[in-house]
Chain A
Amino acid sequence: MADLRVNFAGIKAPNPFWLASAPPTNSGYQVQRAFEAGWGGAVWKTLGEPILNVSSRFAGTHFNGQRVVGFNNIELITDRPLEVNLQEIYETKKKFPNHAVIASLMVEPKQEKWHEIVKKVQDVGVDGFELNFGCPHGMAERGMGSASGQVPELVEKQTYWAKEAAKVPVIVKLTPNITDITATAYAAVQGGADAVSMINTINSLAGVDIDTWKTIPNVAGKGAHGGYCGPAVKPIALNMVAECARNPEINVPISGMGGVSTWKDAVEFMLMGAGSIQVCTAAMHHGFSIVEDMVDGLNNYLDDKGIESVAGLIGQSVEKYSDWGHLDLNYKVVARINNDVCINCNKCHIACEDTSHQCIDMLTSENGNAYLEVREEDCVGCNLCSIVCPVDGAISMVEIPNGEPMTWNQRQEAIKLPICNS
Chain B
Amino acid sequence: MSSYAEFLEEKKKIDELYEKGYTITAVREDLSGAYLTFERSKLDLNDIEEKIELHILTADTRKYFSNLIIAQQKELI
Instruction: Please determine if A and B sit in direct contact within the complex, based on CB atoms under 8 angstroms apart.
Output: yes
Task: Give the B-binding residues of A (Cβ under 8 A).
Answer: 329-330, 357, 359, 375, 377-378, 403-404, 406, 410-411, 414-416, 418-422
| Main DSSP-derived SS at the A contact region | loop
Answer yes or no: B48 CB below 8 A from chain A CBs: no
Contact of A378 among B2, B23, B24, B29 (CB under 8 A): B2
Answer yes or no: B32 CB below 8 A from chain A CBs: no
**Cα of A375 to Cα of B67 in the assembled complex, Å:** 24
Whether A419 touches B27, Cβ cut-off 8 Å, given contacts A410-B70, A414-B66, is: no
* Interface Cβ pair total, 8 Å cutoff: 52
Q: Contact between B67 and A422 (Cβ–Cβ < 8 Å)? A: no
Contact of A406 among B2, B3, B26, B70 (CB under 8 A): B70
**Cα of A264 to Cα of B66 in the assembled complex, Å:** 40
Whether A422 touches B4, Cβ cut-off 8 Å, given contacts A403-B67, A415-B27, is: no
Q: Contact between A330 and B72 (Cβ–Cβ < 8 Å)? A: no
Q: Contact between B72 and A419 (Cβ–Cβ < 8 Å)? A: yes
**Cα of A406 to Cα of B72 in the assembled complex, Å:** 14
Provide the residues of chain A in CB contact with B26, threshold 8 Å. Answer: 418
Number of interface residues of B (CB under 8 A): 18
Q: Contact between A406 and B63 (Cβ–Cβ < 8 Å)? A: yes
Task: Give the A-binding residues of B (Cβ under 8 A).
Answer: 2-4, 23-27, 29, 63, 66-67, 69-70, 72-73, 76-77
**Cα of A416 to Cα of B4 in the assembled complex, Å:** 27
Given contacts A375-B4, A418-B27, A419-B23, 9 further A-B contacts (CB under 8 A): A329-B66, A330-B67, A357-B3, A359-B2, A411-B63, A418-B72, A418-B73, A419-B76, A422-B73
Task: Report which residue of A359, A414, A418, A421 has the largest number of chain B beta carbons within 10 angstroms of its beta carbon.
Answer: A418
> CB-nearest residue of chain B relative to A420?
B76
B16 to chain A, nearest CB (A): 18
Whether A414 touches B69, Cβ cut-off 8 Å, given contacts A330-B63, A406-B63, A422-B77, is: yes
Q: Contact between B4 and A406 (Cβ–Cβ < 8 Å)? A: no
**Cα of A419 to Cα of B27 in the assembled complex, Å:** 11
Q: Contact between A375 and B70 (Cβ–Cβ < 8 Å)? A: no
Task: Report which residue of B26, B66, B76, B77 has the largest number of chain A beta carbons within 10 angstroms of its beta carbon.
Answer: B66
Provide the residues of chain B in CB contact with A377, threshold 8 Å. Answer: 2, 4
Nearest first, the 5 closest Cβ-Cβ pairs linking A and B are A377-B4, A415-B27, A411-B66, A418-B69, A418-B24
